[in-house]
Amino acid sequence: MDENNILEVDGLKKFFPNRKGFFNRISSFNKAVNDISLHIKKGETVGLVGESGSGKTTVGRCIVKLFPPTAGKITYNFNGKILDISRTPEHQIKDFRKNFQMLFQDVYSSLDPKMRILDIVTEPLAIHNIGTQKERFNKACELITRVGLSPDDLQKYPHQFSGGQRQRIGITRALSSQPKFIVCDEPVSALDVSVQAQILNLLLDLRKDFNLSYLFIAHDLGVVKYFSDRIIVMYLGKIVEVAPAENIYTAPKHPYTEALLAAISKYKVGSERKILLQGSIPDPSKPPTGCVLQPRCKYALDVCRQKVPALLPVPNKNDSFVACHRSSELNLESYSSK
């Protein structure tokens, strides 16, 4: 493992069985995540972007051990302690687990309505047996203030808060075990546009204050623009492009990235952003032959229907990779804010 990395994912697959008929037999597999590899450097924020159903949440859940992977390695490096969590039994990673957390997409269902805020935000500490009750309370007071709420709020219940406040509570919970890495799964997509920027700014400040690394999931390239050091573009369970954030916007190399950029150029902030591709995302149980995008791609040739493109380095561009047979000959349109 590279010592500058906090996380390395190698050959990750997550297949969900589809069951059918009277005997509930497995008829096929939904290949939600189909052989992806990625790394995150210490202190880095990596954006993971793709349409609904492309497998982003599934990647996030595997990485924080909420889903067991079908195959692949997930290796963390926390202060020189290196562990492949996909192979290590749960009881052996207890101490290690507090280092990574997940912030959820749906702020309305991710907080248990019957639990007091104090119990919600100190739950990770209780699970990991960290601190006395008094110490946990003090930590909760400190963190809830840091995210812009008040210690009095700890005695309340989730229904007493707005969406933005609930996400601040979710953030407090994620921070309580003093993690070094957080998967932020579309943390603002369920919120009003007016509060989205506040939550994003809070996450940026916290990253600096607590020296965090993020995997930041979003379904379009609008939100992650000011947030990510590198961006991974995912489609139908595969990574199609990876590059430093700036290159993704100024020099996209994959037709799918071009389509995502066209969507943010064309639609104003707050309006619904449609992906400008023919048709819709196919059933991941029956992925197309060759390139995953080929049935929807206006540049597709026979080779695209016949051969799976490998994710290969882009010549003369550091840290950039693309999986497209035609990327070197295509002149794709970059982001225009007009």
> Where along the sequence are the contacts to ligand ATP (CB under 6 A)?
16, 30, 32, 50, 52-58, 219, 284
Please pick, from the candidates 30, 34, 54, 57, the single residue that binds Mg ion as defined by CB under 5 A: 57
Q: Please name the helix (run of DSSP H) or strand (run of DSSP E) that holds residue 278, with its range, or none.
A: none
Residues 6+ apart with CB under 8 A from 152: none
Question: Considering beta carbons, is residue 198 or 285 the nearer one to ligand ATP?
Answer: 285
Q: Which SS3 state, helix, strand or coil, does residue 55 take?
A: coil
- Residue 180 binds what, of ligand ATP, Mg ion, none (CB under 5 to 8 Å, by partner type)? none
Q: Going along 106-224, which residue ranges are E strands?
A: 181-185, 213-218
Residue-wise over 17-29: b if at least 16 C-beta within 10 A, else e? eeeeeeeeeeeeb
Contacted entry of Mg ion, ligand ATP, none for residue 255, CB cut-off 5 to 8 Å set by kind: none
Phi-psi region for residue 131, left (φ > 0), alpha (ψ -120 to 50) or beta? Answer: left
CB of 275 to Mg ion, least distance (A): 15
- Check residue 327 for interaction with Mg ion (CB under 5 A): no
Q: Looking at beta carbons only, is 233 or 245 nearer to ligand ATP?
A: 233
Please report how close the Cβ of residue 53 comes to Mg ion at its closest, in angstroms. 8
Question: Which residues, including other chains, have CB under 8 Å from residue 218's CB and lie 6 or more apart?
Answer: 47, 48, 49, 186, 189, 224
Q: Which is nearer to Mg ion, 60 or 124 (CB)?
A: 60
Residues 6+ apart with CB under 8 A from 56: 48, 49, 50, 185, 217, 219, 234
Q: Does 228 bind Mg ion (CB under 5 A)?
A: no
- The distance of closest approach from Cβ of residue 223 to ligand ATP in the complex, given in angstroms and rounded to an integer, is 12
Q: Which is nearer to Mg ion, 39 or 61 (CB)?
A: 61
- Tell me how far, at minimum, the Cβ of 49 lies from ligand ATP, in Å: 9
- Partner whose binding site includes residue 30, from ligand ATP, Mg ion, none (CB under 5 to 8 Å by kind): ligand ATP
For 30, list phi and psi in degrees, rounded to 5. Answer: -85, 110
Least Å distance, CB 104 to ligand ATP, is 11
Choose between 122 and 222: whose C-beta lies nearer to ligand ATP: 222
Q: Which residues bind Mg ion (CB under 5 A)?
A: 57
